[in-house]
Every structure is written in structure tokens, then in C-alpha cells.
């Protein structure tokens, strides 16, 4: 018995260890690649020794600065370094909505790992007005708004700009479908963006896609090997971590070989982020973490009913045993998954004793079996 107990304990401990390792494991190469929208091919290079090469990305629209360099010869990811030599405009940012976490400069620091989270009202849509003021005029026809992983885009956006001393609407309130918000070409120093949102909002980056920026260099470096081919994946819709080996000093300009860039290709294995697997992309899902393919929203507040909280008791509908009446304690005396506060059948015996009907049916079945047996015993034997 002692041996059995020890073996069971060891098995449980091993299972917990394996489970913990699985949860902390890096995604598979297929999972990494499926997060990227586009790629560039890097074919056979005229090199005889390992060489740091530099691939240009000056003309591509880059939403996120995450890249994945896939060595098609060895079937492994390679370390890389993204180089961007451009001075961002000097912008000050103010907000009319309470910050829950982070700071406003987190949205302007070119670091997609930092964010600013804004308050969401309990019983209404959130509304956020951001005022951006630049030290010199900014000419742009689009703004990139990046949200954190597992966060839906705001519902709508409106953009105003002060042009020649007059405030103008450059984008009327419009439903957001993607991270890049386009509008007619405008030059201004003061811009106002008003967003509405129905779920917790965490913005990681907010940047103008400037048309009057000075020439800049934007490229990717990695160490290439002779007689090997590569594929550079870029523009993911979420953060992913590819397993790579040790990296050399890729930031150094020493012995870097610039090469011409191939045309971007759409990634055929790209799969848009869908955390809850309900078929609705995260950026458009009115309940990102709980599957609700019907997207039902009876009160039209931008939050799907399944993750809304109608009775304002702090428990979302899908977990509330009485979603229409407040009951923070979730008391359920008869264990029927209906909270006492809205259970109208608490006094029924079968409600309090759900096993009682089964006992009755079992007793009836036993009586029937006995009667059949007695009938068979009393039946006269068949005549020869």
C-alpha cells in the first residue's frame, strides 16, 4: 500500500510538472508563422562565410515591429535586429478619461509591450478623447492605433484637427474595422481623436503615418549562412515569441551586407487572432475571452451579453446564477444553479432533494420486477 501511495504521488507530481511546462512552452513554429500577414523571400546569397545581411523595409506599411526570420534550409528561426533610423515627432498627449494602468507616453514610445488602459463604465460605453499636440506641423492621411493582445478595437473613432486656426472634422465618427485609420491628407499641429469602446481598452501604440517625415532607414538584419535560404515574416496581428538561438552583435554596422528586398507576399497560413475560437476575430469580438458566435448585445453597449453584467453585481452574466437580480453571494440553497434570489421553486421537495424522483422510479421498477417474477412462478406448466 505504501508503495502504491508513493507511486500515485510521484505520478501526480510528474503530471503537474509536465502541465506546468506545457503552459509555459513557446508556441510551435506553425503557431508563430500563422500570426504574420506577410513575408519576404531571401534566396541564395553570394556569400562564402556567415554574413550579416540587411533587408530594406522602407516602402512597406509596418504596423508592428515584430519579425520572424525562418531558415528554410534548417527549419529554425534566426535572431534578428530591426533598424529604424527616424526621429518621431515631438508630441504631447492628454486624455479626458481616467487611466487605470500605464501612462499616456506608453502609447508614443514605439514599444508595443507597454500600454495605457482606460476606465470602462459599468453600465455604458466608454468614451475617450485624446488630444495630440506636435512641436511642428504633421502631415498625415492615416493613424495607426494598436491595442494589446486579446483586446478588441474601439467601436468608433472620430478625428478632428486644427487647420489655419479652425477646428475641422477630418474623419466623422466611423466604425473601426482595422488598426489603420485613414482620412483625407491633413496638415496640423493639434489633433483630437474621440473613441468609443464597449470592452476594456488597452492601447499600446498611437502613431501618425507621416507624409512629411524626413527620409529614413527601416530595415531588418540577421546572420545569413552560405547556401541557405530564408523567409522573413512581418506584420503580425499579435505578439508571438519564436524560439531562436544565441545572437551576435547585429546592431553593429561592421561588415553588414545590404541586399535588395523582394516584393512582399501574403502569408497563406495566416490566421487572424481569435482567442475564444468563436469565429469572430479579437479586434471585432464584443466578448473576446468567451465564445459567443452570435455576438448578441441586447442593450447595445458594445459588450456581448455573455460577458456583460446586467444586474451590476460584479458577476458577468455567463457566470451569474441570477443575471437579472443582484446577488453577489450567489447563494443557491437547493443546488439547482439558480440563485435563491430569483428561484421561485425553493419549497418543492424535488428541488431540495433532486435525488428523490430517482429513488421513486427505482422503487417502482423493483416492484414491477417482483410482480413479473411472481406471475411467472404461478403460471401453470405448459401441457405436453
pLDDT digits (tens, 9 = 90+) for 140-162: 999 999 999 999 999 999 999 99
Give the residue among 55, 175, 194 at the shortest CA–CA distance from 132: 194
Neighbours of 357 (CB within 10 A): 11
pLDDT exceeds cutoff 50 at 234: yes
Q: How confident is the model over 189-197, as a mean pLDDT?
A: 96
The residues, any chain, with a CB within 8 Å of residue 26's CB and separated by 6 or more, are 241, 242, 243
Q: What pLDDT, on a 0 to 100 scale, did the predictor assign at position 346? A: 54
Q: Which has more pLDDT, 365 or 153? A: 153
Q: How confident is the model over 290-313, as a mean pLDDT?
A: 90
Pair 230, 197: CB distance under 8 Å: no
What's the whole-number average pLDDT of the chain?
86
Is pTM, for the whole model, over 0.85?
A: no
Position 24 confidence tier, pLDDT thresholds 50, 70, 90: low
Q: What pLDDT, on a 0 to 100 scale, did the predictor assign at position 249? A: 93
How much of the chain, in percent, has pLDDT values that exceed 70?
A: 85
Q: How confident is the model over 84-96, as a mean pLDDT?
A: 81
Pair 180, 60: CB distance under 8 Å: no
Q: Which has more pLDDT, 282 or 44? A: 282
pLDDT tens column, 244-259: 999 999 998 889 999 9
Position 166 confidence tier, pLDDT thresholds 50, 70, 90: very high
Position 27 confidence tier, pLDDT thresholds 50, 70, 90: confident
Q: What pLDDT, on a 0 to 100 scale, did the predictor assign at position 363? A: 73
pLDDT exceeds cutoff 70 at 356: no
Phi-psi domain of 165 (left: phi exceeds 0; alpha: psi -120 through 50; beta: other): left
Q: How confident is the model over 335-362, as a mean pLDDT?
A: 70
Position 12 confidence tier, pLDDT thresholds 50, 70, 90: very low
Pair 155, 124: CB distance under 8 Å: no
Per-residue DSSP letter, 283: G
Position 9 confidence tier, pLDDT thresholds 50, 70, 90: very low
pLDDT exceeds cutoff 80 at 32: yes
Domain layout of the chain by residue ranges: 2-86+216-266, 91-210
CATH class of the region 91-210: mainly beta
Amino acid at each position: 500500500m505504501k508503495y502504491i501511495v508513493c507511486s500515485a504521488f510521484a505520478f501526480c507530481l510528474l503530471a503537474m510538472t509536465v502541465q506546468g511546462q506545457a503552459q509555459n512552452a513557446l508556441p510551435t513554429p506553425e503557431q508563430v508563422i500563422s500570426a504574420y500577414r506577410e513575408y519576404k523571400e531571401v534566396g541564395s546569397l553570394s556569400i562564402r562565410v556567415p554574413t550579416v545581411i540587411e533587408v530594406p523595409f522602407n516602402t512597406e506599411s509596418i504596423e508592428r515591429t515584430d519579425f520572424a526570420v525562418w531558415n528554410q534550409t534548417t527549419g529554425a528561426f534566426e535572431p534578428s535586429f530591426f533598424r529604424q533610423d527616424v526621429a518621431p515627432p515631438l508630441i504631447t498627449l492628454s486624455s479626458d478619461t481616467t487611466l487605470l494602468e500605464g501612462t499616456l507616453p506608453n502609447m508614443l514610445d514605439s514599444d508595443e509591450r507597454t500600454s495605457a488602459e482606460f476606465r470602462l463604465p459599468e453600465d455604458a460605453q466608454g468614451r475617450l478623447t485624446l488630444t495630440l499636440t506636435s512641436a511642428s506641423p504633421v502631415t498625415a492621411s492615416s493613424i495607426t492605433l494598436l491595442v494589446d493582445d486579446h483586446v478588441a478595437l474601439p467601436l468608433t473613432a472620430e478625428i478632428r484637427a486644427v487647420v489655419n486656426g479652425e477646428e475641422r472634422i477630418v474623419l466623422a465618427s466611423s466604425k473601426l474595422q482595422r488598426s489603420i485609420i485613414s482620412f483625407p491628407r491633413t496638415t496640423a499641429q493639434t489633433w483630437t481623436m474621440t473613441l468609443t469602446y464597449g470592452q476594456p481598452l488597452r492601447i499600446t501604440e498611437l502613431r501618425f503615418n507621416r507624409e512629411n517625415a524626413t527620409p529614413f532607414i527601416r530595415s531588418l538584419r540577421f546572420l545569413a549562412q552560405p547556401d541557405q535560404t530564408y523567409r522573413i515574416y512581418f506584420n503580425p496581428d499579435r505578439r508571438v515569441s519564436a524560439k531562436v538561438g544565441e545572437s551576435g552583435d547585429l546592431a553593429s554596422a561592421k561588415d553588414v551586407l545590404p541586399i535588395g528586398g523582394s516584393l512582399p507576399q501574403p502569408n497563406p497560413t495566416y490566421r487572424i487572432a481569435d482567442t475564444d475560437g468563436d469565429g469572430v476575430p479579437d479586434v471585432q469580438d464584443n466578448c473576446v475571452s468567451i465564445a459567443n458566435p452570435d455576438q448578441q448585445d441586447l442593450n447595445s453597449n458594445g459588450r456581448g451579453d455573455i460577458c456583460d453584467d446586467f444586474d451590476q453585481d460584479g458577476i458577468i452574466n455567463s457566470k451569474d446564477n441570477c443575471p437579472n437580480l443582484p446577488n453577489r453571494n450567489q447563494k443557491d440553497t437547493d443546488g439547482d444553479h439558480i440563485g435563491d434570489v430569483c428561484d421561485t421553486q425553493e419549497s418543492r421537495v424535488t428541488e431540495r432533494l433532486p435525488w428523490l424522483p430517482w429513488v421513486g422510479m427505482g422503487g417502482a421498477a423493483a416492484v414491477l420486477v417482483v410482480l413479473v417474477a411472481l406471475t411467472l412462478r404461478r403460471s401453470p406448466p405448459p401441457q405436453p
